[in-house]
A and B are shown apart, each in its own frame.
Chain A
Amino acid sequence: MSDTIVSLPDQSTARIPKVNFMSKENGLLSWLLTGDHKRIAILYLISITFFFFIGGALAGLIRLELLTPQSDLMATDTYNKVFTMHGIVMIFLFLVPSVPATLGNFFIPMMIGAKDLALPKINLLSWYLYVGGGILVLYTMMTGGVDTGWTFTTPLSTHYVNTNVLSTGLAVFIAGFSSIFTGLNFIVTIHKMRAPGMTWFRMPLFVWAHYAASILMVLGTPVLAIAIVLVALERTIGIGVFDPTKGGDPLLFQHLFWFYSHPAVYIMILPGMGVISETISTFSRKRVFGYTAVAFSSVAIAVFGFFVWAHHMFIMGISNYSMLVFSLLTMLVAVPSAIKIFNWAFTLYKGSITFETPMLYTFGFMGLFTIGGLTGVFLGSSGTDIHLTETYFIVAHFHFVMVGGMLMAFLAGIHFWWPKMTGRMYPEKISQLAAVVTFIGFNLTFFPQFILGTLGMPRRYASYPPEFQILNVFSTAGATILGVGYLLPVLYLVWSLKYGEIAGNNPWQATGLEWQTQSPPLTENFAEIPIMDHEAYDYEWLEAQKEKEVASVG
């Protein structure tokens, strides 16, 4: 086969290495008390998949309810709880930890040639915090849910709802600390644990992207924590910091909340961008076009990400001078994303491209993220923001970025590194089908929502005027397809654990250090600490290595 780069070992003789991080110790406790970043990544992978499907089921309920203009499937307060829980589960329990806590956890130490993350116990603690937050969210759901929306808008969340705001707030607080510890661990690891020769500009772009995202996690999340603490205090003992009847300003909550929650969208998307840099390089056999520009654009997004939060409040009564400053800075933060997209596109130029599943997801990412990013400019420009904000346009925009972007990247990454994580290949044909189904389903679900938003349909509506029905029917139909697209990978990936082909060390012929060791890796990752003597994405070095091996064997 000349149209693929997959090079697998001879299946009749190949075996999964006997000693690897999974086989080293057995028993549940060896997993629950592990300090191994790879095992923690697997634990994270299982738990976020669980919460993804809970969030997905809630999304299904939302789409079903919106099939008809009346609120007939559920009462409006149930609907409110469903979309609130959908938001909280998807954002805090899926998107924020998705790529960093699974793929990042697994591969950052391997990519920079370290034995583990700098703080393995903190890493495990962060997973337990995540699970604690998750259990609290489940508890909230069991005991009646919460209907503040994931934004906890005051004074609605402090004085006007009787649902479980406190337990949800605690859950978000705890999950936030899980995210802080993950980010902190990454920063320390990237600074202090790099192998000899691994200079900053030899690191894979995946690591750069995670470094940028980690800065946001460490500096942004605590502000959300304090905002939630103040909401909890206001609910319980009635302090008046956000209460307009006591002289507090509800807008202050918005400032504190969005100070985290805007950078949070970069926390969610940057690691996805890191995945795309890896896959696009590997499947076009080419160094990423403009490595430095892509690396610095990640950092630029992280830095500028802190200056733009008030664009969520343009119509909420911030001063017009603030509007000018924040709108301008929002336009600036859009530029690094544009740079990345074009650099990826030009990575294909004069490459030698193959179209395995991760590459299909990557193409999906590039198309959908471009749409998601460009529609973000509609909202960053204050004039059009007036009309489009708080409508389905917003919903479509952030789903294009988060689901079309981040989830596509996550799936690209999972497929790309699956052979490394498990030692076995996923089935290629059905996974390509899943990628195509996902892409079609996604567009059918969310593209009509741009039109709905432009027509003025407000978000978070359980019922809506009947003329919006047709587009909503399209959207619900798309969601069904999308659901199939997301279920397929779970099925065949689990299947491949036992029946997949043996992958060998480097099925994609990729250049990263993680591919130069056995699959699944040893607990210490490398037999001996590697010495980095070449640039990142150096395919000529890889060819030379292969020739050397052949020569030594021959």
Chain B
Amino acid sequence: MSQPNLNDQDGQGHHVAHEHHIVSPKIYLVILLALLVGTALTVWASYIDLGILNPILALAIACTKATLVVLFFMHVKYATKLTKLTVGAGVFTFLILVGMTLADYFSRAWGRW
């Protein structure tokens, strides 16, 4: 937790021990637009034959959109290290589950078992 900030703009603001960012609606609007553009982009991209890149591109766009939501709508950009670590831990364990299971399936094709 950061040190108390006495630079009170809200006048009657209640006490909070850490800086509580309020993200402005402008940013929300920009993010909304970015998400909508991302959706359009991902639909458009799926109609173009990019071979192996198709799913990768789709997932890349989805990841970008998710990151935007997490960072801004969910305020993680302004959150404590602990929250960031928590998100990281979630993604990490998710990747362990998906990655190590898939690794088993892919490597089954390499050997005779």
Contacts and interface: CB of A to CB of B under 8 A. Distances in A.
**Is A in direct contact with B (CB under 8 Å) within the complex?**
yes
Interface of A: 191, 215, 219, 223, 252, 255, 259, 306-307, 310, 317-322, 325
A307 B96 contact: yes
B110 interface: yes
Given A191-B82, A255-B101, A318 B108 contact: yes
B107 interface: yes
B47 to A, nearest CB: 28
B93 interface: yes
A32 to B, nearest CB: 33
A306 B111 CA distance: 25
B60 interface: no
Contact of B111 (A191, A259, A321): A321
Among B82, B90, B113, residue most surrounded by chain A Cβ atoms (within 10 Å): B113
Contact of B104 (A219, A223, A307, A319): A319
B97 A322 contact: no
Given A307-B96, A310-B104, A319-B107, 4 more contacts: A223-B97, A306-B96, A317-B108, A322-B104
A306 B93 CA distance: 8
B100 A321 contact: no
A319 B101 contact: no
Contact of A322 (B90, B93, B96, B103): B103
Given A191-B82, A310-B104, A320 B97 contact: no
Nearest to B102: A255
16 contacts: A191-B82, A219-B90, A255-B101, A306-B93, A307-B100, A310-B100, A317-B108, A317-B113, A318-B104, A319-B105, A319-B111, A319-B113, A321-B107, A322-B103, A322-B104, A325-B103
B89 A322 contact: no
Report the interface size class on chain B. 10 to 19
A392 to B, nearest CB: 26
Contacts of A310: 100, 104
A199 to B, nearest CB: 14
Nearest to B112: A320
Contacts of B111: 319-321
Contacts of A319: 104-105, 107-108, 110-111, 113
Contacts of B108: 317-319, 322
Contacts of A317: 108, 113
Contacts of A322: 100, 103-104, 107-108
Interface in B54-113: 82, 89-90, 93, 96-97, 100-101, 103-105, 107-108, 110-111, 113
B100 A219 contact: no
Nearest to B93: A219
B110 A321 contact: yes
A306 B99 CA distance: 12
Nearest to A309: B100
Contacts of B113: 317, 319-320
A322 B100 CA distance: 8
A54 B107 CA distance: 44
Nearest to B113: A320
A28 to B, nearest CB: 38
Contacts of B103: 321-322, 325
Nearest to B108: A319
Contacts of B89: 215, 219
Contacts of B93: 219, 306
